[in-house]
Amino acid sequence: MILSIEWHVDWIADCLQYMKDKQFNRIEAKLDAQENWVKHVKEVADSTLYPLANSWYMGVNIPGKPKVFMPYVGGVHTYTKECRASGCKWI
């Protein structure tokens, strides 16, 4: 995804405050949430030319590494909407 540092900083700050308020000392994404996110990122990327490129962006510069596109290219609005829908109680 195109950098949106201010949103990310706010998200982390809110997450840390929520954890402090609830006396949590760690956070971990569930495996199915991780897999669903990677699938969604792939679906969005597949609508672009990125997956057709044999570039470092796809990881082809590392022998044996699977060809995967990891940046989110669905837009900042959609990205933040997905984050809010993820079940995070502080956002």
Q: Which two tokens stand for residue 61?
A: 């510069």
Interhelix angle 76-84/5-22, nearest 10 degrees: 10
What pLDDT is recorded for position 39? 94
pTM for this predicted structure: 0.78
Indicate the residue type of 65.
K
Q: How confident is the model at residue 91 (pLDDT cuts 50, 70, 90)?
A: low
| DSSP 8-state assignment for residue 88 | -
Q: Yes or no: say if 45 and 73 are a contact pair by the CB < 8 Å rule.
A: yes
pLDDT tens across 14-72, in order?
889 989 999 999 988 889 988 999 999 999 999 999 999 888 888 889 999 888 888 89
